[in-house]
A and B are shown apart, each in its own frame.
Chain A
Amino acid sequence: MSDIKIAPEGLEVARTLDAKGLSCPMPLLRTKKEIEKINSGEILEVLGTDPGSRNDIPGWCARAGHEYLGEREDEGFIRFYVKKK
């Protein structure tokens, strides 16, 4: 699919969701649920290990109208950043 988007450093995160170890479709569904807990314009950070999330999260953002800010690789997991619409 499309190339990986790298998120900028130093983003101010309103909430962090730990989805490490979860596999399809849980990371995406948890993200969908967790984003309800923050306000519009705030940023949700999702920690994940499922490579599938690289497509699932940006794809859902495009469909739901949220802004996908990108990902950052960390030690053994990936940080995904979503800005609520």
Chain B
Amino acid sequence: MSDGLFKEKVKNFFKILCQTEWNATAAGLIVALLSILIMAWWRPWGAVGAIRNWGEWILYGIGIFDAKPASIVVSSGSVIGIGFLAGAFISACLGNDFSFKFPPPWELVKAIIAGILMGIGSAFAGGCNVGGMYNAIGNLAANGFTMWLGLVVGVVLGLKYIYWEMEHITWGTSGGKNFDFPYGLKILVGIVALVILIWGAYYYSGQSDDYVNSLSGILLISAGLGYTMQRGRWCMVQAFREPHMTGDCTLAKSVALSILVLAIGAAVLKYAVPQRGSAVAVQSILSEVVDDIDPDEVKDEELADTLEDVVDAADQAVIAARRTLDPVNYVRGTFGWGAVFGGFLFGLGAMFAGGCGSGTLWRVGEGQMKLWLVVPFFGISNALMTKWFRAIHMEGVGPTHEGSKLGMHLYLPDALGYGGTIALVVIAMALWYIIVDWNEDSNKLIVEM
């Protein structure tokens, strides 16, 4: 009796973990948590870093780029992408969502257009929906808000285009094909992929180079992100689109909440951790001690040199500790027209694609071939735009983007303090929530078919 009950409970556990679709709010909170964790580990995550690196390899392979790009398994951006894809793939296999889904031909044309729009848009905004908006607002960067505005406009225009297309384009709009596999085989492949993923993480952590062995955590946390987003079908485009299409605001609310939680977590990491870090403690004690000693009075030259070295080492340690949670992360010189225009192009492109930066990657993981086509075009156009922008200093110079033509580099706590910044994020996300909730019943913001 109890044997059968226990077995049933184990089956239920597997079902919840791998088969049922996670609800949007839960998925959003897990994504926020993982986003905070990856920041604490080393750096915020994004999708463009990976896609651009892969685009650079394509361009290098066909001879357009001369310089060899960073290795796919060493570039942190690319490793994030690989981990994300692996997580999404594992989720799709274990949940029986994976199959090779080939769309009708016209969808493939849209995929190419989408990739180009998203590649160019993310170059202007300094990131995609993840790096330019989600993690940007999450990292307290002002450019995140401006990309948000651009995304709203781009998505609405994209929706109007899709309605127009449904009336006027019939060529290549049917005839999709699906190549499926037995579920048992998918589970097996999923488990193999999981084993390879874990092996990869251990392999990284065994390397002697600090940079490389840190990639272990990056790989795993990114896999967690990919898994969560596929399992919850958590899509940021849907958050921007659905309120105008059907009125449904479930995704929008969950994204707003997720961003709020992320911003609070990021503020805590960026403000509090360096303050309490042991490197800072050592450095402050040292400076007090050294202050009391006049270097000219120290007769022993060796001692004087040693003291200098020790103080230097303490300074370096503080700099290193601060760099892990560097405020400049994800703050781009695009607060202004750059992020708005970039967001607009990106939102439009995402409507053509049927997925944003992260949405594209997890749909690749479940075998949606349309999105497989989006990725190379996204990568190539972003790689080309980024190279050109760097050459003409479009986004200014240095980590603070001095002289950027796309807008300002503004880390909100520099202008409003941490308290003011959190207040701003709370108000903005609350407004987003209330407006989409109101619209769900009033339908005033729906774009008619």
Contact = CB atoms under 8 A, between A and B. Distances in A.
A76 B367 CA distance: 13
A19 B166 CA distance: 13
B175 interface: yes
Contacts of A60: 246
A33 B163 CA distance: 10
Given A1-B21, A18-B174, A33-B449, A59 B246 contact: yes
Interface string B348-361: 00000011000000
Contacts of A20: 176-178
B176 A25 contact: no
Interface string A38-64: 000000000001111011000110010
Interface string A7-29: 00000000000111111111011
A30 interface: yes
B99 A76 contact: yes
Nearest to A73: B96
Interface string B5-43: 000000000000000110100000000000000000000
B97 A21 contact: no
Interface string B104-131: 1001000000000000000000000000
Contacts of B366: 51
Interface stretch (B198-206, B233-241, B288-296, B407-415): B233-241
Contacts, number: 79
A63 B247 contact: yes
Interface residues of A, number: 27
B354 A25 contact: yes
A44 to B, nearest CB: 16
Contacts of A32: 449
B273 to A, nearest CB: 37
Contacts of A76: 99, 178-180
Contacts of A59: 246, 248
A23 B354 contact: yes
Contacts of A23: 101, 103, 107, 354-355, 363, 368, 370-371
Contacts of B241: 25
Nearest to B232: A1
A63 B443 CA distance: 11
A28 B246 CA distance: 10
B297 to A, nearest CB: 74
A29 B449 CA distance: 9
Contact of A21 (B102, B180, B449): B102
Interface string A68-85: 000000011100000000
B447 to A, nearest CB: 12
A21 B175 contact: yes
A74 to B, nearest CB: 10
Contact of B166 (A18, A21, A29, A49): A29
B177 A21 contact: yes
A49 B178 contact: yes
Contacts of B179: 76
A26 B21 contact: no
Given A1-B21, A26-B162, A51-B366, 10 more contacts: A21-B177, A23-B355, A24-B238, A25-B241, A28-B246, A30-B166, A50-B368, A54-B21, A63-B247, A75-B180
6 closest residue pairs by CB, A with B = A21-B176, A76-B180, A21-B103, A20-B176, A49-B178, A76-B178
Interface of A: 1, 18-26, 28-30, 32-33, 49-52, 54-55, 59-60, 63, 75-77
17 contacts: A18-B174, A18-B176, A20-B178, A21-B101, A21-B178, A22-B103, A23-B103, A23-B107, A25-B238, A25-B241, A29-B163, A29-B166, A29-B449, A33-B449, A51-B366, A54-B21, A75-B180
